[in-house]
Every structure is written in structure tokens, then in C-alpha cells.
Amino acid sequence: MSKMTKTIIKLTVRDVRFPTSLEQHGSDAMHTDPDYSVAYVVIETDQGMQGYGLTFTVGRGTEIVVCAVEALSALVVGKSLEEIVSDFRGFYRLLTSDGQMRWIGPEKGVIQLATAAVLNAVWDLWARSEGKPLWKLLVEMDPRKLISCIDFRYITDALTEEEALDILVKAQTGKQQRVDQMLKEGYPAYTTSCAWLGYSDQLLKQLCTDALNDGWTKFKVKVGADLKDDIRRCSLIRQMIGPHNTLMIDANQRWDVGEAITWVTRLAEYKPLWIEEPTSPDDILGHAAISKALAPLGIGVATGEQCHNRVMFKQFLQASALQFVQIDSCRLGSVNENLAVLLMAHKFKVPVCPHAGGVGLCELVQHLILFDYISVSASLDNRMCEFVDHLHQHFRSPVVIQNAHYMPPKDPGYSCEMLESSVQTHQYPQGQVWKKLQ
Amino acid sequence: MSKMTKTIIKLTVRDVRFPTSLEQHGSDAMHTDPDYSVAYVVIETDQGMQGYGLTFTVGRGTEIVVCAVEALSALVVGKSLEEIVSDFRGFYRLLTSDGQMRWIGPEKGVIQLATAAVLNAVWDLWARSEGKPLWKLLVEMDPRKLISCIDFRYITDALTEEEALDILVKAQTGKQQRVDQMLKEGYPAYTTSCAWLGYSDQLLKQLCTDALNDGWTKFKVKVGADLKDDIRRCSLIRQMIGPHNTLMIDANQRWDVGEAITWVTRLAEYKPLWIEEPTSPDDILGHAAISKALAPLGIGVATGEQCHNRVMFKQFLQASALQFVQIDSCRLGSVNENLAVLLMAHKFKVPVCPHAGGVGLCELVQHLILFDYISVSASLDNRMCEFVDHLHQHFRSPVVIQNAHYMPPKDPGYSCEMLESSVQTHQYPQGQVWKKLQ
């Protein structure tokens, strides 16, 4: 980092929404009409440098997250980047444990989404300040420094600082080789773009054909609204992709525990690798029961996109309640909290397969999963990152997919910066796009 | 209910704060400077009838909850009370599972606090409309109707509708006797007013002496910031109250799991009945480990004031992670969700000892615990309701405590109505009280 102190003198946040519900993009069993949105944060230093951050939402309620970001901004503005990163754990704690605001969380829901947006901007600023893409900042950071960014409060019974350090130090071996491999091949991805719940069979077929032609081998289908429909759609897609490609199914929390087991058992013949979000994202013991019941069928349980903090992930791991950890770059408290989850997942030997899609989630999470492979897990077994081909055109440095792999970003930062024109056009409710729809 | 349909035509919400931090009232190991606050909701029908509701907060961040209430108001305004209560389960689901807004929860944090404020106002309106205090509305309601207010989604693996109905039907026996008993004796309470963390030993002694003189026999002490201080304060209060009165200790989430066990073991000689909130409110498995370790010392674990929904309570019960269930009238989704928790607690044979204090929490939760005794548990063993002697003067129908018992409220409604003068004076930031402090 430049020796000069960069003081954050300004934070702005805007409510940016895309009217995706018009075409049922992103529709699932519980979110039938999502308008993909973000609370978009820009921080600015006294030296004119910017950091960009966001958290993902699905329309109504984004204004509440914006309000929460505004409440947090007083804790950020006036601090220097140097001061923050010299004790990032302390700064994380400051944001998440404010003596008054923690009551309305703590570390969950709106306030944690807001924390993510703010801290994503700080990490973006840090990476830009070092002239590196975020994944590279992380990969090249001293393990002790990395550890100093994590708040271990409430997880020391599962992972101590010493154990975390040990994991990172061990993974130094072969690191450069993995960096080179990633730069050459990229990180494996799967697609969710073919089979949203609101899509017709015809559209599904067409998208699936296109995807196969583009080299995709792993496909996710939304299920959970109607069993007959699910059987038809799963059968259709399994036919299309053949027996050797990978199929995953996603119920988006539609079922109770017993129902999940019955329903998924009926879909077992289509050989899904996992059932994602079978029930409430809060139900650790429920997921454990489902995992146990489905294991003999060779179906794993995946969850995490609405797992609200490291304490929940800790328990999912402790209880063997998931077989795939789906971190999210905007639900957890930014990179800081995701580092804790990646390290715990490694200790418990559970692969991480990030959640992405929405607006910007692919752009952000690719950095984290690259770091996971290069500096933590050193494995690609049973690992892949979600990809949805949507709304990337609104970003300054959109994801690059080649042959169904995420190619490592090269621009400095956390890939959060949106095109100012896109932001202005989609600002809610005053942007042109929304004015036209009124 | 009157045959006439009462349509809700207006909902207002205000940010009302009391500068309690000035005197360290309410201070604990994690909330060092709380300004007790509420998001205060008033709904109004086309026939000029009002319903009052609130959710409790501790200062900064109340404006975020206010923003969330405003977002929910579109789902309430225009509905008739009749329409709502004829399918209250459906209405609960409408508020908590909006296809866009559930993303920023679901059913947790800010959005669930807002749901509580809105639904508390609806229950208040319903009870007023029937001319009964809420506890009486519940106690006299047909068990099937009661059940129809509960959303059983995600809890059927622990409690089915049929089991819930069975519990309520069985408890009809002896109901009138219990009503009469409550009207005569009231519901047993304990006090937290003596030993906030910020209070000096001298103040603690004085308050404890006063409380003993007033007939209190059960006392809670805040702990968790400093072990030596805790030993001194627990020793002092145990000396003051003697060996036969009851002492509880409350750490307000200060510790990690291992630390909690060590620390509480050091305080075991003062014979606390329970340790409250030893660690993260999300850590079900952590609480289970603590419960197991402390059981041989005769110390139970209590938690719930920040347990964010019925799915979490379900698991705390399934995992034997608590020995005392502390429901909160404003954290959960109002009466609807609390009914589910009371019934689950009964099934798992764990006593309910509500959280109260703050602003209005005593006023509200007394209704729920009266219902629990009269219509669910039919037992007072190991049961008591928290009481804090604060801010009651701001309510139209403040709690009545006699000989350390809550006397059943008689006024129609849910006791949520605040004095309009208090609301105006304490509105943040424009009220007189706050203007003076600027």
C-alpha cells in the first residue's frame, strides 16, 4: 500500500433495481417475481480514490438495506484505509457489534447485508490501492495478516486461530502452480441459466442445447413448486444432458423436513448430485436429518446462500448437515467472514461451491473461490462455482467465462464497480427504466 | 367481533427513543450504552378504531426498523380486520414470505422485528374490537381458531397441527380455576432492576434492599465483562438475598463456548438457577454443549430474547440446548409465532420464562405468559416472568405488579398504547427530549 494515509471522506449508497420479474428470470419456488437489485456503495478517499461495494437483494426491501448502510456509514467515514486494515478484525467487530445496532441483528438479515455492502467496498478499495485483483491480494497476503482479518468470536470451539494459520501455512506448498493453472484453465463453473422455475419446457430445451454447445457440463434445475412438473423437467434435462453430465436440483426452501425427503426421493432416478436449500435456511438439524436420509441415494445437501453468518455455517459443519458449502459474497460479512467459513469448511473436509447469479454475485465470489483453491483447499474435487448469465453488462470488469470456467479477473479491485450509466438508469424509483414502467 | 367490517385505512410508524444510556440503565456486557427505543405503530380503521403495536430496539438502527415497517404497510393497509383474522396464518405468511422481501430475512433481524410491530398492532386491534385484554381473547378462543393463527411451515417435524390442537384441548380442564387464580394472585415475576452491569456496588445494595422489602424473591445479575467483578457482585447479591431466594445470571452473549463453561463454573458457588445467553444466540449446538457441561453443577441454560424465529426455537428444544425458554413479544413474529413456541416448549417439557424490560416488553409479554399458564402449561414450576421497573409511565395501561407478581391486565387490547405526549416528546430526533440533548 502507498505509504500515504488514505482517509475515507465520503460514502454514498444507492438503490439500483433491474426489472427481471418481467421475464421470470431468477424465479424459484419461494421468490416468484424477483427484481434483481443491489444496494450499491461507493466510498471515496481524500486522495480521490474510490472503492465500490454492493449487496444483492431482489427488489422490494432494498430501500431498507440502503437505510442500514446509511446507519453504518458513520462508523466508516473518517477512518483511514491504513487504520482499518491494520486491525481489520477490530473494524469488523466495530461494524457488527455496535452497542446499539447489534440488537437489530446481530450479524443477520438486513444489518449483515449492509455490513457486506460496506466491507465489500473497503476490500475493493484495499485491492485497488495495492493495484491487484482481490483474489491476488488475498493469495499473496501473509497468512498471519489474513488471519488478523477474521473475527473468531463464537467459532473457536470449531476452529482456533492456530488451526486456521496452520491450514494457510500448509497450503503455501504448490501455490504458484495453482495460480498458473487458474490463469490458464480458470475455475470450473456450473450453469443455472437454463432452468428457472418460470421458464417453459421449450425455452428450457433451447437454453440447454445452447449451453451444451458452449461446453457446459453441469446444470442446475429449480424444483419444489409441483412434483409432477419437477419430474417432467428433471427427466427432460437429464435426457438432454445425458448420463455423464452433472445435474443439481434446487428447492429454495420450499419444504418441511419430512416433505423434502419424500419429494427428493421421487427425483432420485434423475441422479442429482445435490438438493439445494431443501428447507428453512435456519434449520441445521433439519438439514442434518435430510442429509442422513438422502445419503443412501447418493444425493448430497447443499445450502448457504441464506446462511446468515459464520456461527450458522459452523453448526452446519459440526452437525454434518451439508455436503456442499455455498458461500455468498453478499450475505455474510464480506471477505472477512467468508475467510472464516472457507477455513472451517476445509477443516471439516466439505467442498465449497459458491452461490452466484443475481447482480454482481458472480463478479465478486469468483475472487473468493480462486483464493479457496489456491490458498486453502488445493483441490477441485466436487467443486464448482455457480454461474448465471445475467446483467454482467452493467459492470466495469464483468466476469470472463471460457469453456465453462471462470477466468481469473485481472483488473485491480473486487470487480464491484458498475457502469455509472447503468446505475443511474436503474436507480429506484427515479431512474428511466422505472419511470417508464410506472 | 362486531359484524361490521373494519378496514385498516392507515398505518403510521414513529421512531421513539428514551435516553437511558445517560444513567446506564439496561447496560450489559454487549450493550454498553442502550437508549431504549421502539418503532411505534398505529393502525386505524375506517370506523375510527385504533390498534397499537411496537417493537423494541436500543437506539441507533430504530430508523431502519421504521423503514421496514413502512415497506410492510402496503400489505396491511386496505385489508379488513375480519379478512385478516379469518385466515391469520395466511396473513402471517403474506408478511413473512413476500416474494421479494423475504430475501432480506427471511423471518429474522430487522424485517422480523418490523413484522412483530405490525402484527402486534393487528392483535391489539382484534382484542380491542372484542372488548377484551389480549390474554383473555386468547384464553377464550376456540382451540381450532388459535391453531389457525400459526404458520406451521418448517416446524412439523417437531410439532404437528394435530399435536398442537391436542395440547390446547387437554388444557381446557381446570382453565377457569387458573383464570381465577391469576386474577387473584397474579403471575410470578423476577427482577432485573437491581444489577445492571453499569451500576455501582452501592446502588446495587440499595436497590436490592428495596426489592427485598417490596417482596421480591428472584433476582437477576448481569455478568460477563470481568470475572473478578462478577465474583464480587454475585457474592454480594447472594449475601443480600440469602440462600433461599433465587439468583439468575445473564452474560448477554459475551463468551465463546469453552469460555462460557469455565467462567460459569467459577460462579457456581453462588448457586445461580440459570446462565442466560452464555454465547451467540444463533449457536444451538454451542448452547447444547454448555447445557451438558453445566447440568452437573445444577445450573440451567436460558436463552431466547434474540432467538429470531420458531425454527431456531424448535432446534434449541430438539437439541436440549436450553432448560428455560425466554420468548420475546417483539423479536418473534408477534402472537402468531409465539403461540408456536409456547406449544413446542410444552411438548418438549421445557418451562417458558419470558424476556421483558426495555420499553413495553413487560406490558406485552404478560399477556402471553398468562395464556401459557391458563391454556397450555397449567404449571408454575420453575416459571417466572422478567420484570424491569422502567418507562412504564409512558403507557396508557401500564403493568400492575403486586407482591412481585404480574396482575392480569383488564383494559381491552395488548397494552401497547403509549401516551401520545410521551411519543411526541421522545420522537427521534425531533422530540423535545432529544433537542435538549443536542
Q: Which residues of A touch B151 (CB under 8 A)?
A: none
Contacts of A433 (CB under 8 A, 6+ apart): A18, A19, A425, A426
For chain A, give the mean pLDDT.
96
Q: Is residue A155 part of a domain?
A: no
Are residues B102 and B183 located together in one domain of the fold?
A: no
Are residues A175 and A250 located together in one domain of the fold?
A: yes
Closest residue, chain B, to A114 (C-alpha): B104
Neighbours of B242 (CB within 10 A): 9
d(CA A300, CA A296): 10
- Amino acid code (one letter) for B93: R
Cβ atoms of A81 and A8 closer than 8 Å: yes
Q: Which residues of B touch A157 (CB under 8 A)?
A: 256-258, 286, 289
Active site residues of B: 222, 355
Q: Is the predicted pLDDT of residue B36 greater than 90, yes or no?
A: yes
Closest residue, chain B, to A279 (C-alpha): B154
User: How would residue B52 be classed by pLDDT, with cut points 50, 70 and 90?
Assistant: very high
Are residues A192 and A267 located together in one domain of the fold?
A: yes
**Mutation to test the A interface, candidates B60, B63, B94, B103, most A Cβ within 10 Å:** B103
The distance of B34 to chain A (nearest Cα, Å) reads: 6
Domain assignment of residue B210, given as a range? 175-418
The pLDDT of residue A4 is 62
Are residues B303 and B379 located together in one domain of the fold?
A: yes
**Mutation to test the A interface, candidates B58, B157, B252, B287, most A Cβ within 10 Å:** B157
Comparing CB atoms, the residue among A60, A106, A318 nearest residue B285 is A318
CA angle A326, A327, A328 (to 5 degrees): 120
Torsion over CA: A287, A290, A292, A295 (sign): negative
Q: How far is CA A308 from the centre of its chain?
A: 12
Cβ atoms of A417 and A52 closer than 8 Å: yes
**Cis upstream peptide for A281 (omega within 30°):** no
The distance of A243 to chain B (nearest Cα, Å) reads: 34
Whichever domain contains B263, its CATH number is: 3.20.20.120
The distance of A101 to chain B (nearest Cα, Å) reads: 5
Comparing CB atoms, the residue among B111, B157, B258 nearest residue A257 is B157
Are residues B269 and B287 located together in one domain of the fold?
A: yes
The distance of B374 to chain A (nearest Cα, Å) reads: 30
b vs e for B30-51, b when ≥16 Cβ sit within 10 Å of the residue's Cβ? bbebbbbbbbbbbbbbeeeeeb
d(CA A165, CA B284): 27
The pLDDT of residue B58 is 96
Q: Is the predicted pLDDT of residue B2 greater than 70, yes or no?
A: no
Over residues A313-323, the pLDDT tens digits come to 999 999 999 99
Q: Is the predicted pLDDT of residue B349 greater than 60, yes or no?
A: yes
The pLDDT of residue B163 is 98
The predicted model gives A142-171 an average pLDDT of 98
Whichever domain contains A41, its CATH number is: 3.30.390.10
Contacts of A124 (CB under 8 A, 6+ apart): A51, A52, A53, A134, A413, A414, A416, A417
Of A222, A287, A308, A314, which one is the catalytic site residue?
A222
β-strand partners of B250: B222, B276
Percent of chain A with pLDDT over 70: 99
The pLDDT of residue A343 is 98
The predicted model gives B170-194 an average pLDDT of 97
How many residues does this entry show for chain A? 438
User: Nearest CA to A105 among B311, B36, B109, B37?
Assistant: B109
Are residues B189 and B92 located together in one domain of the fold?
A: no
Comparing CB atoms, the residue among A102, A103, A156 nearest residue B258 is A156
Are residues A214 and A327 located together in one domain of the fold?
A: yes
Q: Is residue A141 part of a domain?
A: no
Q: Is residue B275 part of a domain?
A: yes
User: How would residue B4 be classed by pLDDT, with cut points 50, 70 and 90?
Assistant: low
Q: Is the predicted pLDDT of residue B383 greater than 60, yes or no?
A: yes
The pLDDT of residue A32 is 80
Are residues B72 and B204 located together in one domain of the fold?
A: no
Contact pairs from chain A to chain B, CB under 8 Å: 194
Of A218, A314, A355, A405, which one is the catalytic site residue?
A355
Q: Is residue B123 part of a domain?
A: yes
**Mutation to test the A interface, candidates B64, B70, B279, most A Cβ within 10 Å:** B64
Q: Is the predicted pLDDT of residue A3 greater than 60, yes or no?
A: no
Q: Do strands B385-387 and B8-17 pair parallel, antiparallel, or not at all (unpaired)?
A: unpaired
Are residues A430 and A383 located together in one domain of the fold?
A: no
User: Nearest CA to A168 among A185, A150, A184?
Assistant: A150
User: How would residue A193 be classed by pLDDT, with cut points 50, 70 and 90?
Assistant: confident
d(CA A61, CA B261): 40
The distance of A70 to chain B (nearest Cα, Å) reads: 9
Q: Do B154 and A309 touch (CB under 8 A)?
A: no
Q: Which residues of B touch A154 (CB under 8 A)?
A: 256-257, 279-280, 282-283, 286
The pLDDT of residue A208 is 94
- Amino acid code (one letter) for B302: A
Rounded (10°) angle between helices A257-267 and A227-241 = 40
Q: Is the predicted pLDDT of residue A215 greater than 90, yes or no?
A: yes
Number of domains observed in the structure of chain A: 2
**Mutation to test the A interface, candidates B100, B222, B290, most A Cβ within 10 Å:** B100
Comparing CB atoms, the residue among A98, A253, A279 nearest residue B60 is A98
User: How would residue A253 be classed by pLDDT, with cut points 50, 70 and 90?
Assistant: very high
DSSP characters for B404-435? TEEEPP-SSB-S-PBPHHHHHHHBTTTSHHHH
d(CA A304, CA B318): 22
Closest residue, chain B, to A66 (C-alpha): B64
Rounded (10°) angle between helices B109-129 and B62-73 = 60
Over residues A47-92, the pLDDT tens digits come to 999 999 999 999 999 999 999 999 999 999 999 999 999 999 999 9
Are residues A430 and A396 located together in one domain of the fold?
A: no
Are residues B391 and B431 located together in one domain of the fold?
A: no
Q: Which residues of B touch A280 (CB under 8 A)?
A: 153-154, 311
Q: Which residues of B touch A35 (CB under 8 A)?
A: 100
The pLDDT of residue A282 is 98
Are residues B407 and B380 located together in one domain of the fold?
A: yes
The pLDDT of residue B232 is 95
Q: Is the predicted pLDDT of residue A97 greater than 60, yes or no?
A: yes
Q: How far is CA A125 from CA A16, A129, A371, A413, B286, in A?
A: 21, 6, 18, 7, 36
